[in-house]
């Protein structure tokens, strides 16, 4: 006990004296652990992360996890401490609301590596990666634009935070590109997962005339309703085709393993360095779309052409001009926002109907 | 032929009471252990997770102690109310009320900054006290059953908190349903051992105060009289209604204080989940401690340890979260059953021969 305390003090002194010297974290024997927001089989958000966990388990042996950890500091810290006290040295979590807790834990354990998928905090030993979801949603928007007959789409999302606003805005821009005049009804659910409410919103949007329902939520509940009503749908996080086999156009999917496998390999080699809050594009495969269905083959070819341009880095979703709902120019013609500007997005584009409230 | 008969026990000695309680707990542990063995855990796993990790490992001990801070307070809350036979099923609502009151003080900058933390503490006490006091008043004046009113007040507080978090108190930075982070001066200091914060002094202080109040103060004595027989107490001049109101308000204030320790010691803001999962453990703790305030401290730490062990069962043995609840229920049932022997005794029927 005394020794641990002494060692702790020495460590604290070392950290205080040389904060920059900790830039690289070497984990010769990775013992990985996962913290999920939902259940590992939720059919969406956490399941996409669990796929990555299984891939890591194949490479590094058993990877323990805890499910249903709420976005509450003490619950997250308890889970992290639990794994660390059992020898864990690579802690991987996956939620925006874990950001503060993960930052505190990373500071308390400077020699361990932390990754928080979709977080916004970073430290020399904490990285919060996120996919450029807007690339996938733009392509999905194109598909929805081709599919819609009523020129009305519906999309539901969790909270109006910047990286969620990307999704609705890029979806609307994609639809606008293939079917000018298409509008997107938007609803914020004020939760990451609330299947009952999602189904109700889906129903309401269909009654308003939407014939494509897209969900940015952690469950396929909205798609099930759309399928029953004979409408098209777009899934998220994993291929949700099973929930709506007759109406699904595509799903914007995550492949976290394409980011996490190289990251852990780099930790093992001693070359890993936190990139802060990096964005992984469709070129890395961390984000992509599931195979397109239920639209004509030549439309699919046009979407695929844009996808290839994105992969080659020759297509920017946010190329101006982009106007917000009030008609104010957010991105002038001939320019594109910087990453920092994207992280501060606080508007809905002109063909979105509804408010951020 | 000799016959076994059950007869009421008139009085149980203190020693016997203690032994019965201990026996109940031991029986509960044995049954729980058996239950876990059927869930695929080995004996050595049980020992390492339940004893080694929860108390022997610094991280485990840290979690156990940090968790016990609000658990002691909600346990005291139920225990104090039970002293006047007032069933407080509303610790979550009172905890929410306390947490909201403390948060309001922070958000609206009430009181000078130097003593802001103390203002938050007093606000939490008042908030929780009010939440339970109203129910006590309803019982005294309207004969409303407190089991129902305190239970329903949980939902009122929870909905009010949701309303605030999705409305006026929503974090302006990212529209997330959490309040703004408190200023550093508005939080409880860490004590240098993991996440254990100064709230532990509030918990232990509250336990000592309740022990004094129930055991040595005049009010405690009156409470005993009211609990034993309200009509008789009133007849000899004890203000029964006032005593019930006072004890119930104190109980609510203790739960409010638990809310204060969570928002100021752990979360440093109001979140959507601060009041979750306290009702059942609070009753188990008060019951295991037989409403003894110092016993509550021991029982709360034991239940906290159970939760700590439960976390690692979830992570490393893939047991569901309900496992901990199951064990709590087993313990409670065993102690309840053991108490049977405090009121009844088993003996041989004395047969008296009647001459033909």
User: Are A160 and B175 a contacting pair, CB within 8 Å?
Assistant: yes
User: Are A211 and A152 a contacting pair, CB within 8 Å?
Assistant: yes
User: Are B91 and B277 a contacting pair, CB within 8 Å?
Assistant: no
Q: pLDDT digit string (tens) for A50-64?
A: 999 999 999 999 999
Q: Do domains A21-128 and A133-254+286-353 have the same CATH topology?
A: yes
What tokens does A147 get?
């599919």
- Asked whether the beta carbons of residue A86 and residue B316 sit closer than 8 angstroms, the reply is yes
Q: Which of A37-46, A109-118, A131-140, B205-214 has the lowest mean pLDDT?
A: A37-46
Q: What DSSP line would sit under B258-321, residue for residue?
A: HHHHIIIIIISS--TTTT-S-HHHHHHHHHHTTT-HHHHHHHHHHHHHHHHHHHHHHHHH---T
Flag whether the ipTM exceeds 0.90.
Answer: no
H-helix or E-strand containing B8?
strand B4-8
Q: Give the pLDDT band (50/70/90) at residue B317.
A: confident
| Per-residue pLDDT, A228 | 96
| Per-residue pLDDT, B356 | 64
Domain definitions of chain A by residue range: 21-128, 133-254+286-353
| Per-residue pLDDT, B315 | 85
A356 vs B143, more confident: B143
Could you give the CA distance from residue B301 to residue B55 in angstroms, rounded to a whole number?
Answer: 10
Q: Residue A332, Cβ neighbours under 10 Å: how many?
A: 10
Has residue B43 got a pLDDT over 60?
yes
A 66-125 near B (Cβ less than 8 A): 66-68, 70-75, 77-79, 81-86, 96-97, 100
Q: pLDDT digit string (tens) for B261-278?
A: 999 999 999 998 898 889
Average pLDDT, chain A: 91
DSSP 8-state code for residue B188: P
Task: Judge whether A356 is closer than 8 Å to chain B, CB to CB.
Answer: yes
Helix A73-85 with B293-317: angle, nearest 10 deg: 60
What tokens does B284 get?
């188990």
Has residue A9 got a pLDDT over 50?
no
Has residue A16 got a pLDDT over 50?
no
Q: pLDDT digit string (tens) for B68-106?
A: 999 999 999 999 999 999 999 999 999 999 999 999 999
| Per-residue pLDDT, B194 | 87
| Per-residue pLDDT, A10 | 43
Find, in chain A, the residue whose alpha carbon is nearest to that of B174.
A161
H-helix or E-strand containing B135?
helix B116-142
Nearest by CB to B59, which of A81, A97, A190? A81
What tokens does B124 get?
């939490």
Q: Give the pLDDT band (50/70/90) at residue B1.
A: low
The percent of residues above 90 in pLDDT, for chain A, comes to 83
pTM listed for this prediction: 0.84
| Per-residue pLDDT, B351 | 66
Could you give the CA distance from residue B277 to residue A38 in angstroms, rounded to a whole number?
Answer: 18
Has residue B316 got a pLDDT over 70?
yes
| B313: exposed, middle or buried (Cβ count in 10 Å: 0-12, 13-18, 19+) | buried
Average pLDDT, chain B: 91
Please list every residue in chain B whose beta carbon sits closer than 8 Å to the beta carbon of residue A159. Answer: 174-177
DSSP 8-state code for residue A273: B
In the CATH scheme, what is the homologous superfamily, with its name and number, of domain A133-254+286-353? Response regulator (3.40.50.2300)
Could you give the CA distance from residue A63 to residue A59 in angstroms, rounded to a whole number?
Answer: 10
Q: What are the angstrom distances between the C-alpha of A253 and each of A49, A115, A138, A148?
A: 11, 20, 13, 22
- Asked whether the beta carbons of residue B271 and residue A72 sit closer than 8 angstroms, the reply is yes
Average pLDDT over residues A254-274: 95
Please list every residue in chain B whose beta carbon sits closer than 8 Å to the beta carbon of residue A86. Answer: 312, 315-316
Three-class SS state of A215: strand
Nearest by CB to B166, which of A4, A84, A190? A190
| Per-residue pLDDT, A23 | 59
Has residue A2 got a pLDDT over 70?
no
Has residue A17 got a pLDDT over 70?
no
The percent of residues above 70 in pLDDT, for chain A, comes to 94
- Asked whether the beta carbons of residue A82 and residue B59 sit closer than 8 angstroms, the reply is yes
Q: Residue A323, Cβ neighbours under 10 Å: how many?
A: 15
Nearest by CB to A82, which of B58, B175, B315? B315
Q: Give the pLDDT band (50/70/90) at residue A180.
A: very high
Domain at A21-128: CATH architecture? 3-Layer(aba) Sandwich (3.40)
């Amino acid at each position: 006990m005394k020794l641990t305390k002494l060692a702790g003090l020495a460590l604290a002194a070392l950290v205080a004296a040389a904060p920059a010297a900790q830039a690289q974290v070497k984990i010769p024997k990775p013992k990985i652990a996962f913290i999920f927001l939902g259940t590992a089989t939720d059919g969406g958000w956490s399941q996409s992360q669990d796929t990555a966990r299984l891939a890591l388990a194949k490479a590094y042996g058993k990877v323990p996890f805890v499910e249903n950890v709420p976005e509450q500091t003490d619950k997250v810290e308890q889970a992290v401490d639990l794994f660390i006290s059992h020898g864990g040295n690579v802690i991987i979590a996956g939620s925006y609301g874990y950001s503060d807790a993960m930052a505190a834990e990373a500071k308390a354990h400077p020699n361990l590596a932390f990754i928080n998928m979709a977080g916004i905090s970073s430290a020399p030993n904490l990285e919060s990666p996120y996919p450029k979801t807007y690339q996938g949603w733009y392509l999905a928007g194109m598909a929805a634009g081709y599919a819609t007959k009523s020129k009305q789409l519906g999309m539901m999302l969790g909270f109006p935070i910047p990286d969620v606003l990307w999704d609705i805005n890029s979806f609307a821009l994609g639809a606008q590109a293939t079917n000018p005049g298409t509008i997107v009804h938007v609803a914020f659910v004020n939760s990451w997962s609330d299947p009952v409410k999602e189904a109700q919103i889906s129903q309401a949007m269909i009654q308003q005339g939407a014939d494509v329902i897209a969900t940015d939520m952690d469950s396929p509940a909205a798609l099930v309703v759309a399928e029953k009503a004979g409408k098209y749908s777009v899934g998220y996080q994993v291929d949700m085709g099973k929930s709506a086999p007759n109406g699904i156009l595509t799903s914007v999917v995550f492949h976290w393993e394409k980011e996490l496998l190289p990251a852990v390999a780099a930790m093992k080699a001693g070359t890993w360095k936190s990139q802060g809050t990096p964005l992984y594009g469709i070129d890395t495969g961390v984000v992509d779309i599931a195979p397109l269905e239920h639209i004509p083959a030549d439309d699919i070819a046009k979407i695929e052409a844009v996808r290839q341009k994105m992969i080659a880095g020759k297509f920017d979703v946010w190329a101006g001009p982009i106007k917000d709902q009030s008609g104010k120019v957010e991105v002038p013609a001939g320019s594109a926002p910087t990453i920092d500007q994207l992280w501060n997005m606080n508007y809905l584009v002109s063909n979105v109907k509804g408010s951020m409230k | 032929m000799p016959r076994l008969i059950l007869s009421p026990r008139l009085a149980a000695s203190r020693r016997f009471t203690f032994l019965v309680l201990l026996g109940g707990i031991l029986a509960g542990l044995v049954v729980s252990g058996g239950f876990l063995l059927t869930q695929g855990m080995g004996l050595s796993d049980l020992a390492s997770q339940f004893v080694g990790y929860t108390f022997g490992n610094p991280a485990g001990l840290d979690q156990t102690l940090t968790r016990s801070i609000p658990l002691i307070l909600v346990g005291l809350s139920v225990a104090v109310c039970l002293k006047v036979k007032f069933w407080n099923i509303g610790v979550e609502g009172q905890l929410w009320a306390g947490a909201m009151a403390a948060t309001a003080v922070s958000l609206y900058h009430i009181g000078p900054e130097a003593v802001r933390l103390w203002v938050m503490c007093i606000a939490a006490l008042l908030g929780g006290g009010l939440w339970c006091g109203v129910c006590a008043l309803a019982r005294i004046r309207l004969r409303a059953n407190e089991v129902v009113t305190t239970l329903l007040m949980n939902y009122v507080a929870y909905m009010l908190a949701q309303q605030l978090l999705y409305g006026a108190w929503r974090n302006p930075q990212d529209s997330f349903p959490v309040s703004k982070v408190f200023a550093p001066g508005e939080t409880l200091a860490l004590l240098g051992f993991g996440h254990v914060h100064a709230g532990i002094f509030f918990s232990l202080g509250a336990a000592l105060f309740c022990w004094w109040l129930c055991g040595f103060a005049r009010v405690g004595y009156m409470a005993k009289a009211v609990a034993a027989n309200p009509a008789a107490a009133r007849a000899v001049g004890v203000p029964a209604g006032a005593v019930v109101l006072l004890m119930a308000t104190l109980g609510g204030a203790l739960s409010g204080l638990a809310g204060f320790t969570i928002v100021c010691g752990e979360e440093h803001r109001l979140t959507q989940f601060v009041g979750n999962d306290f009702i059942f453990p609070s009753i188990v703790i008060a019951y295991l401690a037989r409403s003894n305030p110092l016993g509550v401290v021991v029982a709360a730490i034991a239940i906290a340890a159970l939760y700590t062990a439960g976390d690692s069962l979830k992570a490393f043995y893939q047991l569901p979260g309900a496992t901990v609840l199951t064990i709590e229920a087993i313990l409670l049932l065993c102690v309840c059953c053991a108490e049977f022997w405090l009121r009844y005794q088993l003996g041989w029927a004395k047969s008296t021969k009647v001459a033909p």
